[in-house]
Amino acid sequence: MERYFENFEEIMKPEEIDNEDVKLESVDSESTAFEAGQRHGICQICQKTEFSKNMKRINKETDRLVIGSIFQCDFVSPEWHDYFLNHSTQICLSHLAVAMQRIRVLLENPKSIENWKTERSILSKWSNEEMLKIMTDCEKRNQRSINEKPQYRNDYRRCAVCNSLKGKWDLGIVKSKNVKMIIMLGCVLNGSFTYEDSQDFVSKPQFVYVCHSDFLVSFQEIIGFMKIDSVDQFLSCSKEDIQSLIEDVNCMCPEMKLAEFTRELSKYSWRIRHFTA
């Protein structure tokens, strides 16, 4: 334990942290650690928190029935599925893009719509002709929301943390071992990963895709654990909290010191602000 506090006063000096390559905006002490994180919603299908810019509210009943029929087995529970069918609610653009892709496949082969309806009782009230028109309108109406994404590509990847299918515009590519460590630190703190799993994740040399939501969640877990509002306040935390956090860090990166971790966390904070602006 003493090794964390050897020359502690020297380690805690702000000048030990080289932040020339990281410029953080000043944060009001009454504000949250990450202001942009307040603009978010919950996807009705997977129940994951997403940034509002990556969500689409489905108001039209016919759209909800079509999309609900596509993901009827993917909802967290039947109750959430029923709620989605009967209420205006939000889904993430990743699920919306997958739904539109599936609709386009059906529209290319209209004969398959009959089998599609047979397997999904919620669509049985429509004739094949009505179903064809409804799907066409649904695709045109919602595809616009997907095309508005500036980084839109017609392909998807799975997040290495939550395993959710995401559009590439919702993912960050993580190559750095230090960034992997910070992501895993948040996951260890919230109990979604064990120490063994986190060590394996960090030690893998290849790059991974991580969704923006998990970037944010990990950061918020760390800030919440330290009971602070921003990274700028990190070095004012109690010695006990810092020691506990650094012990978790050293389980994944034994060579990392307090000063280096603080610098990496500042860079991480900047990265989140950057891709959510």
**pLDDT digits over 209-252, tens only?**
998 888 988 998 999 898 888 888 888 888 888 889 999 999 99
Give the pLDDT score at 154: 52
Give the pLDDT score at 11: 40
Nearest to 185 by CA among 236, 238, 233, 247: 247
Q: Are residues 20 and 130 in the same domain?
A: no
Give the pLDDT score at 110: 78
Query: Which residues in the chain show pLDDT less than 70?
Result: 1-39, 148-155, 274-277
Q: Are residues 17 and 84 in the same domain?
A: no
Q: Are residues 16 and 108 in the same domain?
A: no
Give the pLDDT score at 18: 39
Q: What is the DSSP string of 179-246?
A: HHHHHHHHHHHHTSS-HHHHHHHHH--S-EEEEHHHHHHHHHHHHHHHT-SSGGGGGGS-HHHHHHHH
Q: Are residues 100 and 164 in the same domain?
A: no
Q: Are residues 183 and 267 in the same domain?
A: yes
Q: Are residues 111 and 170 in the same domain?
A: no
Range of the domain at 210: 2-30+156-275
Spatial distance between the Cα atoms of 55 and 46, rounded to a whole number of angstroms: 12
Q: From 147, 177, 195, give the residue that closes a domain.
A: 147
- Count of domains for the chain: 2
Q: From 88, 119, 147, give the residue that closes a domain.
A: 147
Contacts of 146 (CB under 8 A, 6+ apart): 93, 96, 97, 100, 152, 167
Q: Are residues 125 and 177 in the same domain?
A: no
Q: Are residues 127 and 83 in the same domain?
A: yes
Q: From 147, 169, 195, give the residue that closes a domain.
A: 147
Nearest to 51 by CA among 172, 153, 182: 172
Give the pLDDT score at 20: 38
Is 260 within the bounds of a domain? Answer: yes
Give the pLDDT score at 179: 92
- In Å, what is the CA distance from 13 to each residue of 16, 188, 262? 6, 28, 12
Q: What is the 3-state secondary structure (H, E, C) of 129-182?
A: HHHHHHHHHHHHHHHHHHHCCCCCCCCEEECCCCCCEEEHHHEEEECCHHHHHH
Q: Are residues 245 and 263 in the same domain?
A: yes
Residue entry with tokens 């500036």: 150
Is 35 within the bounds of a domain? Answer: no
- In Å, what is the CA distance from 201 to each residue of 170, 176, 246, 269? 20, 12, 18, 21
- In Å, what is the CA distance from 187 to each residue of 27, 98, 172? 25, 27, 17
Give the pLDDT score at 201: 92
The packing angle between helices 258-275 and 212-226, to 10°, is: 140
Is 58 within the bounds of a domain? Answer: yes
Is 63 within the bounds of a domain? Answer: yes
Q: Are residues 196 and 61 in the same domain?
A: no
Coil, helix or strand at residue 49: strand
Q: Are residues 162 and 263 in the same domain?
A: yes
Q: Are residues 169 and 142 in the same domain?
A: no
Q: Cβ distance 93 to 145 under 8 Å?
A: yes
